[in-house]
Structure formats: C-alpha cells, structure tokens
Structure 1
Amino acid sequence: MTDSATSTQSPALFQAQRLQEIASLAIEHGRVEVADLAKRFDVTTETIRRDLSELQKRRLVRRVHGGATPWETGGFEPLLSVRDDQHDDEKRRVAAAALHELPDTGAVIIDSGSTAGRFVEFIPVETKLRFVTNSLLIARSLSERTDADVIVIGGKVRKNTFAMVDSQAIEAVEPLRVDTVFMSADAATASSGLTTPYREEAAWKRAIIRSARRVVMLLDHSKFEHEHFVRFADWSDVDVLVTNTETDPAQIASIEAGGTTVVLA
C-alpha cells in the first residue's frame, strides 16, 4: 500500500485503516517491526512509532525495542473489531456448519465472540427459538435478523467485547436451563482443554456450560495454536466441536477419542 494509492482518502481514514492492519499483523505474526511497517505503508518510521503508541493506548499492542507485540501475549485480548477480521472465511465455514446443531424448539444460549457473530448471520429469520446472550452485538443482530425472542443477560459491559461477564451476569444465567449453548474459546488444545485470558470470562463460560444440556464449541484452526491463562472446560464438557478442515488432524483425533463429536467445515 502506498500514499499514492490512498490519495483519495482523508489522512484520518488512512490512519484508521493502517492502525487496524498493524494490530492484525501483530496478532498474525506475533511481532511487527517499525522498519518493515514503514516500508509496507510507505510512511516514515516516526509515523509508525506514533501508530504503535496509539495502539498501545488502546491495549492492542505492546511496544518493544524496534517494534511491537500483540497486547494479548501478556494475558489480554484484542478488541472484538480486530479479532473480527481474523480468519473470516474459516469462521464463516464453522458458523454455517454449526447451524445444523441448532435445535428446532426451546431455548439456546449464544456466547459473545466473533465466530458467534458469524453464526447468528446464518440463523433463519423465521426461527421460533428463544435466544439468551450476554452480547449486546449479538442481541442486536438477532433482533434485527429474526423473529425470535431475545433475552439479554445484564451486567457490566466489557469494552473489548461489548459483552457482560461479571458476577451479575453469572447470577442471572445460573437459574436458566437451555437446550444448547453455542460458545467459543480464546485458545484450545487437546491436552489442556479450553482456555481464556480472564478469570471473569472463565467463570461466565463455566456458568453457561452448567446451564445447558448440550455444549457446542465453535473454534477455527487458529485457536489450537496456543494456550491462555485460565482453563474453563475440559473436552469432556463439550458435546460437539465445530472446526474447519485446517485444524491439526492429531488434535482432532485426540479430541474425538475423548468422546466429543467433531464436525469439520
């Protein structure tokens, strides 16, 4: 990308696009270098350093000598708007395949997350299910796209995800009994189970697992490349894993051996 290619855009718009791409590159590669970014975007190294400072303020990257690393490597997660751009094709395949796990009647919980957001896009308009979610974005999408009843779990909104996962949200969901929960994880391995950077998030996820008769986990292959700080579930807690065909076959075989049904998209 060059300045000439973006001459019709305002400087502010170009910077916003550059910031988003830098954050995405940091997540994808684990580290970005100032010199490489300056060359990539055809801007000065001083401009890139200012960009990295701005991204650090937003808790998207951590500045290191000569570049930056993802903020999440320190146990934090990026904004949903950044995660939303990652592995979009794989997430859509997973979401479409997960639709077959949707019950015909009753109530379901849909957890927050970018893959869950894709899943909602595939739910038929005429569905008569009752949906429970802790995500403001998913609640809005369900309300706009379907005729279903939508129940929003209250609590303090997390700015990174626009979802509620605090003690108030957990208290609200604990009495509920639903047919199926559709959820995700920040990271997963066959040996260590499902993990997230946050204790609060882990407590919420445990609560919705307890509330459901059936647990469907939506994970694209990138989630199987690392672990996070807090484990919230073992594979024995998961009835169905929906993932894409790029996921490591050895991981899939081990998960299936434990009794979890694996659906490949």
Structure 2
Amino acid sequence: MHIMNSEERRRQIASLTAVNGRVTVVELAERFAVTPETIRRDLTVLDNDGALHRVHGGAVPTNTFQTRETPIELRSTTSTEAKIRIGRAATELLPRTGTVFLDAGTTTAMLAHAIAEAGRPDDNPYRNLTVLTNFLPLAVRLSAAGLSDVQLIGGHIRPITQAVVGDIALRTIGVHHADIAFIGTNALSMDHGLSTADAEEAAVKRAMIANSDRVVAMCDSTKFGRDYLVSFANVPEIDVLVTDDAAPHQYLEAFTAEDVTVVTA
C-alpha cells in the first residue's frame, strides 16, 4: 500500500486548489485520510511558499479575484509568442462560410492577424465569412484582409481595453446568430469559470456566447488559476479551449473531463 508523504500530499493539495478554485480543510482531510490539524499545517506551509492563499476554513489559488485591469497597450506585449500560436491554432476551427463573433482582446486580435495572413485580400480563404466584433482594431484588420462582410458592433468604447460595450452593443448581438464565437478571457478557473474585471465587457461576452452554436475560449497559460470579479461563462458552456503548451496539465485534464475539446498550440 502506498503511503503518501507530506510533500506529495501538499503538491496534490496545491493542484486541487488551482483546479477547483477553492478547497476546504474538511474535504481535504477526508480525501487524504489525515486529521484537519495536518491539513491546516499543510495549508500554512503552502501559503508561506506562495502556492495558495489561506482563507477561513480552507484555501483559494493565489492571485484570486483580481480587480485591476491591465491597459490594452501593456496586455498586447504580454505572452505575445503564445498568443500568436493560439491565434494560428484557432484558425483551424474557423468555417469557410457562415457568421462568426470575435470578442475584443489581444488574443482574439492574434486570430484576426492569422486570418489576414492566410492569403491575399482577393484570395483569402476566409473571405466569405461574416464577422461581427466589438473591437475596432480587429475590424480594421479584417476588412483590409479582404473579408466581404465585417461588422463593427456599435456602442460605448472603454478606453482601457478599446472594447465596445453597452446597451446598443447588446441589442446588436441579440438580433444576430453566429455559427461560432471566439472569446478571450482575463482569467480562468474551474470554480469561477471565465471571468473579467468589467461587468459591461462580461455582458457582451455572455451575449456572444448565448447567441452562438459553438464557443471557443482563447486563453494563454498565464490566465489559469486566476479569477476576476465578474464571471461570464461556466466551463461546461465552452466547446473548445485553445491555449498554449505551458498550460497546467491538471487544468487540461479537468477540461477534458468536462467534455471540452482542448487544442494546445
């Protein structure tokens, strides 16, 4: 019979916390067949190591529930190589005809770049797509790439992210239906799902998801295990996750268990 040592148990506790978004002393004690006092000592050690954050009765992942957004100019330089690979991988999921929602964000912008680079404007393989987006830079890029029908969703522009939000945007999305939606996220956890800091942006993302037959979440590995205040989708609402090869394996296994197709770029 295998006897688990404290180091191995703590490693598993850290992984469970990252995947589940929150763990309790009671459930961990039962799972590992040790006393609650032992689990509390484990959580103290892991907290001191920065592997998780202790809260009353249990623990949550580090960097949980962030509220401060990063300006689009800075986010565009973060994990750029991974986002480029994610964007290229996402093109494999694109239909040649039909309607597509493209969410605002630096990762979805890389999908737009990959579409634009797929061929000359007069011979782009995606030229027959209808694309609706709430992100001005993305709309400009795609219209220059030769796509025949690129529609910029109207509304209020948030300066920090350059995303178009508000009632007009929601009404526009509500009267359209997409074959597939490509959605970016600021954070992703199994417990809190996909989340962002702003309620208006979350509402637009939620509307795109609700009005699409298929949902593709685009998320680089730095976003896993984090939560922002506003959750806009639960994991089962996602059909495909496109991420990079540095994504934590425990997350990929958890997504697969939820019948989410995982594409690693």
Instruction: Report the TM-score when normalising by structure 1.
Output: 0.71
Whole-Å Cα distance in 1 between the matches of residues 82 and 66 of structure 2? 26
The 3-state SS of whatever aligns with 1:100 is helix
The 3-state SS of whatever aligns with 2:214 is strand
Q: Which amino acid aligns with 1:129?
A: L
**Matched residue, 2:97:** 105
Q: Deviations over 1:121-140 (max 9, x none)?
A: 11134221011001111111
Structural mapping, 1:212-251, within 5 Å: 212-251=212-251
CA contact (8 A) 1:142 1:148 kept: no
The 3-state SS of whatever aligns with 1:213 is coil
Q: 2:86 aligns with which of 84, 94, 99?
A: 94
Whole-Å Cα distance in 2 between the matches of residues 149 and 133 of structure 1? 11
Q: Deviations over 1:29-65 (max 9, x none)?
A: xxxxxxxxxxxxxxxxxxxxxxxxxxxxxxxxxxxxx
CA contact (8 A) 2:196 2:231 kept: yes
Matched, 1:122 2:114: yes
CA contact (8 A) 1:131 1:148 kept: no
**Matched residue, 2:77:** 85
Quote the offset at 1:146 in angstroms: 2.6
Unaligned runs of 5+ in 2: 1-64
CA contact (8 A) 2:68 2:197 kept: yes
Unaligned runs of 5+ in 1: 1-72
Quote the offset at 1:76 in angstroms: 2.8
Q: Deviations over 1:66-105 (max 9, x none)?
A: xxxxxxx861312111100000010011111111000121
CA contact (8 A) 2:66 2:228 kept: no
Matched, 1:168 2:168: yes
Q: Deviations over 1:98-120 (max 9, x none)?
A: 11000121110100100111111
Whole-Å Cα distance in 1 between the matches of residues 191 and 254 of structure 2? 8
Quote the offset at 1:229 in angstroms: 0.4
Runs of 4+ in 1 over 3 A off after TM superposition: none
Whole-Å Cα distance in 2 between the matches of residues 257 and 74 of structure 1? 27
> How many residue pairs align between the two structures?
194
The 3-state SS of whatever aligns with 2:213 is strand
Quote the offset at 1:166 in angstroms: 1.1
CA contact (8 A) 1:190 1:252 kept: no
CA contact (8 A) 2:236 2:260 kept: yes
The 3-state SS of whatever aligns with 2:104 is coil
* Higher relative contact order (Cα pairs below 8 Å, separated by 6+ residues): 2
**Matched residue, 2:20:** none
Of the structure 1 ranges 121-130 and 105-114, higher mean CA displacement relative to structure 2 is found in 121-130
**Matched residue, 1:40:** none
CA contact (8 A) 2:66 2:229 kept: no
Quote the offset at 1:204 in angstroms: 1.0
Q: CA RMSD in A?
A: 1.5
Q: Deviations over 1:181-223 (max 9, x none)?
A: 1111100012321111111111111100011100011110001
**Matched residue, 1:48:** none
Identity %: 34
Whole-Å Cα distance in 1 between the matches of residues 79 and 132 of structure 2? 26
Matched, 1:142 2:142: yes
Instruction: Report the TM-score when normalising by structure 2.
Output: 0.71
CA contact (8 A) 2:66 2:227 kept: no
**Matched residue, 2:13:** none
